[in-house]
Amino acid sequence: MNDEIVLCGASSYNKKYYFNEQFSSLPQGIQDELHIMCVLFTADVGGVLQVVFDEDGSLQLRTQTEEDDILYDEIGSVLKIKQLQREKEELFESLEMYYRVFYLGEAYEGEE
């Protein structure tokens, strides 16, 4: 059973961005930051990037490419994901907490 939910994603193939409307309650600034992040990623390395919540509420960055895509930068993709995980750590942690509280119904464990 696959309980993953896609938050957003972008594709270099059809030059489109997707944002899951279930998360429209997120502040516009966060939605904009996710949009920019996804589009810049696919413009830089190619392929498709998806930002996904797994069944435990952890945020995952997933990439895909078409088999015959010789322009896709596989090494650049791995490096760029690591860079995003470092630079956007606070954003990703906040999104995970948001998802766990509002979608999984877990109790909020705020800092005291």
Average pLDDT over the chain, rounded to an integer: 92
Residue with tokens 């997707």: 18
Distance CA 83, CA 109 (A): 27
Domain boundaries in the chain?
Answer: 5-102
d(CA 87, CA 44): 17
pTM score, two decimals?
0.89
Phi, psi of 61 (to 5 degrees): -105, 120
Q: How confident is the model at residue 112 (pLDDT cuts 50, 70, 90)?
A: very low
- φ/ψ region of 110 (left if φ > 0, alpha if ψ in -120 to 50, else beta) reads beta
Coil, strand or helix at 52: strand
Tokens of residue 38, six digits: 């996804």
- Interval 31-82: pLDDT, tens: 999 999 999 999 999 999 999 999 999 999 999 999 888 888 888 899 999 9
